[in-house]
Structure 1
Amino acid sequence: MLALLALSGAALSIFPAAEMISSPQADPAASVAELATRIQSAIPGVEQIRRSPSGRITAFWFDKGTPGSAVIDPETGQAVGSADPNQVERWLTNLHRSLFLDDTGRLVSAAGAASMLLLSVSGILLVARRTGGWRRWFSPLRGPLAGRVHVELARAAVLGLLLSSATALWMTASTFSLLPDGPAALDQSDASGKKGAALSAMPLLAATPSDDLRELTFPYPDDATDVFTLKTDSGTGAIDQGTGQTLGWVDLTAWERATETVYMLHTGRGASLLGLLLGVMALAVPVMGITGLAVWAAARGGRPPIKGNASPSGADLVVLVGSEGGSTWGFAATLHAALTKSGKRVHVAPMSAFAPGRTRAAQNYIMLAATYGDGDAPACAKGFLDRLAALRAAPSAPVAVLGFGDRNFPRFCAYAEAVGAAARVKGWETILPFDTIDRQSPQEFARWGRALGQALGIPLELDHQPVAPRTTGLTLVSRRDYGQDVQAPTAILRFALPRLGFLQRLLGRGFARFEAGDLIGILPQGATVPRFYSLASGSRDGFLEIVVRKHAGGVCSSMLTGLQPGRSVEAFLRRNPTFHPPRGRKPLILIGAGTGIGPLAGFVRANDSLRPMHLFFGMRHRDSDFLYGEELAHWSSEGRLASLATACSRGSHPRYIQHVIARESAALAAAIGAGAHIMVCGGREMASGVAETLAAILEPMGLSPARLKAEGRYVEDVY
């Protein structure tokens, strides 16, 4: 219903602008007396003249008992077009106002407006929570496309939706006489009973500009006691038809002015550009409906159901979750079930919903916090640290902080550590010392659970069964092998895109839409934790490509580097929007070593706009592991790659990528000064060396890698 009301409202917003463009406009210097004289000369039987907010002048008359009407050219007073209402506009108006159900339909439409108002207000609060507070209302978003589109549209359209829904409710209340907006009574008892005064001799008509006219009603021809009635933007007056004198005047009441302003704001009549803008904003409603359903469905699929989740106010133990991919929610569900079984009333919520005022009965808090990227907060924990810092004092109920991560990453459980440190600074009493879980280990979680149970004085056994992600079979179609000569077997593996259903394509689910820099997760047989690889291709390339190096003892890398064309693996897609090239034409500085070339090559491959891209690539030996060597030469000739600098750590002149960066310091400084973005992919030691080298280059400019990261101009994908 909201989509129907929004689309019909958007269509109606076109008519006021079209009417203003097509209607002859009166001279602003002309008076109502001059305008009425011209029309009366052309149409002797005229009985009423109206001016719409668009400036269109319409005359109404009776000719031998037959009513007539026409659009008037105010310069000549002649009829220039039919005044009959546009049938499409009338049909849309009836649909929009009442759904063709008269008063019942008006009430239904009003209920829709009330729903839109509630959704807008609650949506504002949800966007603020997702972005981490009002100060970050316009901060960049990450996550699935549907969620980002939903929030971006909400940001752009919410003020218009608030205005449209609130004015619709006002107009409904006015229609049903629920507002005191009726006009004041006009006394015309002093009429002379004479006829014949010239319009030009009536002071009120002569003093009123035609732009202020709303309606001029002529007296009934056979009634000498009848009067001229003039309605303007400021009030209503009565004029004696015999003497031309003003018999009375009443100003518009405050309620009348308010109602007319509301009518103008809602319909766009009198403010056609605003009407068109509100119409465009209304178009966001059906799109937000679709993306909202997609977000809802993804949330249900990504989080396990929390059965018997206690209300915030009634819980004696609160579990707050910070998760990016959804796996930490599974641990929260296991913990909730065990604590509930032991007799606790447990409330589970995202860390972004942290509000001690709503959980006053809580006796304990437990934080289960994963880490995103380079120590950042996961999506559902944004704003938590700010909320904690803003408290006058820490909650009286003690807290336990448990971090989830992978020790292979350089910032293992960094966000959880930041939460624990902030709690200590705030003086928040702890139930247990800070602890971590590596690679979603059920055994480590069970150990921590026993310690928690002992601290709470209850038996607590956490038997967590990881839920395997839904996977899709990917068939290898080709492979290219490198690195055998330098004892670093590496392969570029290209997989065929899986067949997709219509709904997947429509919603962009699964492998329907992805970009270079996104991740695929591969779960080796018998393993419980997936391994992730950066994509070197996008969905528009028509294939899925990754670069894998075989690691000693690596189960997944050994499986992949031994895979032959025609064989398949089970995989799933995970978005990684923070490692996508930003939009625009600013230069990109791409830095990678070894398999880190994968997503960077994907960025160059997709550079159809020929944006300046400068690649720094480190390898062991040019003859053995120059990954994408032929493609890079081809992309350079096409203009997709502006420059390429390489470093080989083996051979006659060994050097690392940071040495090449130092050599090109002047060019890099110029590019960064011009607004270039830096993207680094590869091993953590390489990334650390690159950051140190860049720090020396940036220091004379008053910049640093940390500052560029804060500005979103320096991103890493390291392992």
Structure 2
Amino acid sequence: MLRQIHSLAGLISALLVMLIGLTGAVLSINPALERLATSVPAGVSVAELAGRVARHYPGAEQIQRTASGTIIVYYSAGDVSGVDRVDPTSGMAIAPYAPPAYARWFKELHRSLFLDTPGSAAVGITALLMLMLSVSGIFLLLKRVGGWRQLARPLHGNRSQRWHAAVARFAVAGLLLSAVTGSYMSAATFTLIADGSQDEPDIPATTSGGTPLPAARLPALLATSLADLRELSFPLAGDSSAVYTLRTRQGDAYVDQSSGALLAFRAHSNVREAFELIYQLHTGEGLWWLGLALGLSALGAPWLAVTGIAVWWQRQRAKPRIANNAAPASADSVILVGSENNSTWGFARALHDALRQAGQRVHTAPMNQFSSRHGAARQVFILTATYGDGDAPASARHFLANLAGISPNQAASYAVLGFGDRQFPTFCQFAQDVDAAMAARGWRRSLELALIDRQSPQEFARWGSQVGALMGHELVLDYAPAHPHTHALQLRERIAYGEEEHDPTVVLRFIAAPPPASAGWLKSRLASHRLPRFEAGDLAGVMAPGSSMPRFYSLASGSGDGVLEICVRKQPGGVCSSYLHNLLPGDRIEAFIQPNPQFRPALGKAPVILIGAGTGIGPLAGFIRNNTGQHPMYLYWGGRHPDSDFLYEPELRNYLADRRLTQLHTAFSRVTNGAHVQTRLMEDADNMRRLIADDGQVLVCGSRAMAASVRQAMDQILAPLKLDVAALREKGRYREDVF
């Protein structure tokens, strides 16, 4: 429901939010500009200022002090009236005063869209919608990252989702403040709430009537600090009964022009003071630094509107459209789907179609719709993502409650497939909860719980093979989510290792491919000859000819290195790895970039511990290459034999020499007394504990089996510190990229 409210408010207000955000950002500059042009002396009284002004402006009628400290004098000289900005230290004119025309134009657009009352009402409604968006966005963001403690962690999702959440994380506090104060001021404009406006003090019936004193000698003005002044109106010349009108931050008063006594005073009410504070917080007037901060936040509003619409449109396109969906009561198999952003539905459709081709009657529905109507099915498949900090996704929030009221079908069995990201401590937690709840209720498990990392098509296909074996016939699940635009790359260099081995390894370095000769002059001129933007640790998606599923390879370089570099081991029967191994310099491929911001060294000088095996060294070597600041960086890596596959050996030796790499610990399994990388970790346990105690971060890259062994070793190493891998992972200090 919260997501629906957020989306509806955003769609309704998108255009006005962009307009108000941009105009607010422009207006936020004014307080800072005024403050730069103003010198505010300390310890000066209103009397001193009035005396200085009177010397240069005998016809002064009023002095105003703006929130930024600018002193403005309204005066008459004969038949001529004028307004000047003056120097408070001397009372002399600086320049004629007139607010910039652009500021008046933008202020009118910001406040009323040039539509007077209807425009002001539209702006007020937009402020309320912004408030709704800010509050709902905060809760959605917290659920997305897993709570307040995880707010600074890297974001996941597609590009639009990541940008939307990243800008929201930066701008939401300022937008929330602007929305709250803007809503309040709009309500006050339409007298829906009081603004604390008050009548002036009663004019005294009598004054001293004596000879007027110079303003510089009036006690009431001497007792008033210039810092508190809002406005001072001079009495009409020649009228002994006239008085000074003094408006200050504390209230309004009249001052006798002869005695200088305070004749009447009316303090501002608490409501008025609250309104003035809110006005100041909204505009930044008098708080120029806050104005600039709010302006930067306001610049995020257009971006949030655009990316928010993009995320909504992507979600709409991904909404479930299941063809040939059998009735629940007559289905042989039921597929239940738990999804937050609809991405899991694509996998469900692939399973639905494959089961139908195998002769099954299949019903696919959201997990929330699970009921006794589905009891006739012989097999229940549950495909679910996890939302936030281990919570149920939108289409599965009522599943566990509904399950409690459904008696298990003893003739039926179930299998749970979870989708998530292993970088997060609660990886596929909801899928695990569902699997446990089904078993606890007496349902029979047909397949062990399977978990898919980052929507891997390969893992999904492997799970499909298990389902096919369960059902007694081949089941091909050939599905991959939609991928970004691909880039043409040309192989510049290949470095082969262990060519005599059954499964050799090759390092491939690509550059941006020039357009083919057949492209023509115009296309050649328009084509980009640059690499896309990426960083070491991001992923390159490569599709071999004839294959619809991409294979992802961790990048060992950043685009700033001038090459796209991957490290590939030839897998027995591997279509894509064989394709890449057969490439020769000059050959071209198509690839796309999938950002992987979760797997990068943290900024700062804390030590970084890099752990890998085999081709997992690729991104780790990229991190070391970019460590030009020579921060502490330690590499623990395992290979097979130093003579055949010591990957990146020359580069690593150079990095040790120029101190980009602090220490190198290698383990080779096919030598006498061979060892694995976890062995080197245990041998260096004391140093590992010292590095972790010094806020060290651990990055692990390699096979899933290797990563599991490393976690066991690290738990033993960390035990004396009363820490474990789970605790480090929760703090963002233990990250994995495994395959």
Question: Normalising by the residue count of structure 2, what TM-score does the alignment of the two structures yield?
Answer: 0.76
**Pick from 242, 246, 249: which aligns with 1:230?**
246
Which deviates more, 38-47 or 91-100? 91-100
Secondary structure class of the residue paired with 1:191: coil
Q: Residue 34 of structure 2 corresponds to which residue in structure 1? A: 19
Q: How does 1:24-173 map to 2 (within 5 A)?
A: 24-28=39-43, 30=45, 32-103=46-117, 105-133=119-147, 136-144=150-158, 146-173=160-187
Q: Residue 722 of structure 2 corresponds to which residue in structure 1? A: 702
Counterpart-to-counterpart distance in 1, 2:314 and 2:510: 26
Q: How does 1:485-634 map to 2 (within 5 A)?
A: 485-497=500-512, 512-524=532-544, 529-569=549-589, 571-634=591-654
Secondary structure class of the residue paired with 1:159: helix
Q: Which amino acid aligns with 2:540?
A: I
Deviations 1:467-517 (CA, angstroms, capped at 9, x unpaired): 6755746554432322133443222233444679xxxxxxx9x98333333
Deviations 1:553-607 (CA, angstroms, capped at 9, x unpaired): 3344333333444445555443333322222222222222222222222222333
Q: How does 1:183-332 map to 2 (within 5 A)?
A: 183-188=198-203, 190-192=205-207, 194=209, 196-198=211-213, 199=215, 204-221=220-237, 223=239, 225-241=241-257, 246-293=262-309, 295-296=311-312, 299=315, 303=318, 305-306=320-321, 319-321=336-338, 326=343, 329-331=346-348
Q: Which amino acid aligns with 1:533?
A: Y
* Count of residue pairs the alignment pairs up: 669
Check 1:581–1:94 CA distance in 2 against 1; reply closer, same or farther (3 A cut). same
Question: Normalising by the residue count of structure 1, what TM-score does the alignment of the two structures yield?
Answer: 0.78
Paired residues of 1:511 and 1:573 also in contact (CA < 8 A): no
Q: Which amino acid aligns with 1:23?
A: T
Q: Residue 679 of structure 1 corresponds to which residue in structure 2? A: 699
Counterpart-to-counterpart distance in 2, 1:464 and 1:489: 29
Secondary structure class of the residue paired with 1:639: coil
Deviations 1:211-270 (CA, angstroms, capped at 9, x unpaired): 322112123336555433221222222345566555433332444323322221112122
Paired residues of 1:402 and 1:416 also in contact (CA < 8 A): no
Counterpart-to-counterpart distance in 2, 1:337 and 1:173: 58
Paired residues of 1:385 and 1:419 also in contact (CA < 8 A): no
Shift of 1:622: 2.0
Paired residues of 1:579 and 1:717 also in contact (CA < 8 A): yes
Secondary structure class of the residue paired with 1:423: helix
Secondary structure class of the residue paired with 1:577: coil
Counterpart-to-counterpart distance in 1, 2:721 and 2:362: 60
Check 1:435–1:52 CA distance in 2 against 1; reply closer, same or farther (3 A cut). same
Check 1:676–1:208 CA distance in 2 against 1; reply closer, same or farther (3 A cut). closer
Check 1:269–1:449 CA distance in 2 against 1; reply closer, same or farther (3 A cut). farther
Counterpart-to-counterpart distance in 2, 1:659 and 1:139: 30
Shift of 1:648: 2.8
Q: Residue 439 of structure 1 corresponds to which residue in structure 2? A: 460
Counterpart-to-counterpart distance in 2, 1:321 and 1:664: 44
Check 1:655–1:346 CA distance in 2 against 1; reply closer, same or farther (3 A cut). closer
Which deviates more, 151-160 or 69-78? 69-78
Q: Which amino acid aligns with 1:186?
A: P
Shift of 1:331: 0.8
Counterpart-to-counterpart distance in 2, 1:386 and 1:442: 22
- 1:466 pairs with 2:483: no
Counterpart-to-counterpart distance in 2, 1:405 and 1:261: 49
Check 1:26–1:558 CA distance in 2 against 1; reply closer, same or farther (3 A cut). closer
Counterpart-to-counterpart distance in 1, 2:364 and 2:686: 62
Deviations 1:283-314 (CA, angstroms, capped at 9, x unpaired): 2223434443554565567x355479xxxxxx
Counterpart-to-counterpart distance in 1, 2:476 and 2:567: 36
Paired residues of 1:469 and 1:572 also in contact (CA < 8 A): no
Check 1:610–1:173 CA distance in 2 against 1; reply closer, same or farther (3 A cut). same
Check 1:113–1:449 CA distance in 2 against 1; reply closer, same or farther (3 A cut). farther
Secondary structure class of the residue paired with 2:64: strand
User: Which structure 2 segments of 5+ residues have no match?
Assistant: 1-15, 324-333, 409-413, 451-458, 516-527
Paired residues of 1:401 and 1:419 also in contact (CA < 8 A): no
Check 1:448–1:215 CA distance in 2 against 1; reply closer, same or farther (3 A cut). farther
Deviations 1:325-353 (CA, angstroms, capped at 9, x unpaired): 946543168769999x99999557xxxxx
Paired residues of 2:417 and 2:449 also in contact (CA < 8 A): yes
Secondary structure class of the residue paired with 1:485: coil
Deviations 1:446-477 (CA, angstroms, capped at 9, x unpaired): 879999xxxxxxxxxx9987367557465544
Backbone CA RMSD of aligned residues:
4.6
Shift of 1:363: 7.7
Q: Residue 493 of structure 2 corresponds to which residue in structure 1? A: 478
Shift of 1:279: 2.0
Q: Residue 331 of structure 2 corresponds to which residue in structure 1? A: none
Secondary structure class of the residue paired with 1:229: strand
Paired residues of 1:446 and 1:464 also in contact (CA < 8 A): no
Counterpart-to-counterpart distance in 1, 2:663 and 2:220: 78
Paired residues of 2:336 and 2:364 also in contact (CA < 8 A): no
Counterpart-to-counterpart distance in 2, 1:41 and 1:571: 77
Check 1:535–1:242 CA distance in 2 against 1; reply closer, same or farther (3 A cut). closer
Check 1:137–1:434 CA distance in 2 against 1; reply closer, same or farther (3 A cut). farther
Which deviates more, 204-213 or 599-608? 204-213
Counterpart-to-counterpart distance in 2, 1:552 and 1:102: 73
Q: Residue 13 of structure 2 corresponds to which residue in structure 1? A: none
Counterpart-to-counterpart distance in 2, 1:306 and 1:382: 28
Counterpart-to-counterpart distance in 1, 2:540 and 2:607: 27
Shift of 1:48: 1.3
Counterpart-to-counterpart distance in 2, 1:627 and 1:82: 73
Check 1:57–1:318 CA distance in 2 against 1; reply closer, same or farther (3 A cut). farther
Paired residues of 1:439 and 1:529 also in contact (CA < 8 A): no
Shift of 1:75: 4.1
Paired residues of 1:323 and 1:329 also in contact (CA < 8 A): no
Percentage of identical aligned residues: 37
Secondary structure class of the residue paired with 1:84: coil
Counterpart-to-counterpart distance in 1, 2:174 and 2:706: 49
Q: How does 1:388-403 map to 2 (within 5 A)?
A: 396-398=404-406, 402-403=416-417
Counterpart-to-counterpart distance in 1, 2:279 and 2:322: 48
Q: Which amino acid aligns with 1:268?
A: G
Q: Which amino acid aligns with 2:479?
A: P
Check 1:333–1:127 CA distance in 2 against 1; reply closer, same or farther (3 A cut). farther
Shift of 1:67: 0.9
Paired residues of 1:70 and 1:79 also in contact (CA < 8 A): yes
Counterpart-to-counterpart distance in 1, 2:267 and 2:335: 60
